[in-house]
Amino acid sequence: MSPEIDSMATAFAGSAALTSLFVVLAMIGTMNPYHRPIIPVLGALLVMLSCTYMLAWTDGTAVDILALRTAMSEGVFAMIGLLPIAFLVLTALLLEASLRKRPEDPLLALLESESGSE
């Protein structure tokens, strides 16, 4: 496997595993009486363990806690690598928001004239 494809596959498996961990943690943080978390948690654990197994298999190492930590670490590196692209999109959106003209709204104009008269 070429180094480029290898790094792409590592980033894929790592970010999938880390996103699944984030999904589980987000469900813990937003727990409420209407949640039915068992199936989504099982799905997320399945993705995490499959990705860990895939990474350990390609590296030729044992599937243990170190493999899980390595998969999560690869996920962190992959997501940090994705941040500049996300920031580029965000910068374009912020530029659009900064340059746009606020649409005329009669209700807001009325509110402004009332606050100005006080």
Asked whether position 23 contacts another protein by CB under 8 A, the answer is yes
Could you tell me if 44 and 22 are in contact, meaning their C-beta atoms sit under 8 angstroms apart? no
Select the residue interacting with another protein from 57, 87, 109, 110 (CB under 8 A): 87
For residue 60, is it left (φ>0), alpha (ψ between -120 and 50) or beta? left
Asked whether position 29 contacts another protein by CB under 8 A, the answer is yes
Rounded CA separation 57/9 (Å): 12
3-state secondary structure of 2: coil
Amino acid type, 105: D
Asked whether position 52 contacts another protein by CB under 8 A, the answer is no
Residues that bind another protein (CB under 8 A): 3-5, 7-17, 19-23, 25-26, 28-30, 36, 38-40, 42-44, 46-47, 51, 65-66, 69-70, 72-73, 75-85, 87, 90-91, 94, 97-98, 100-102
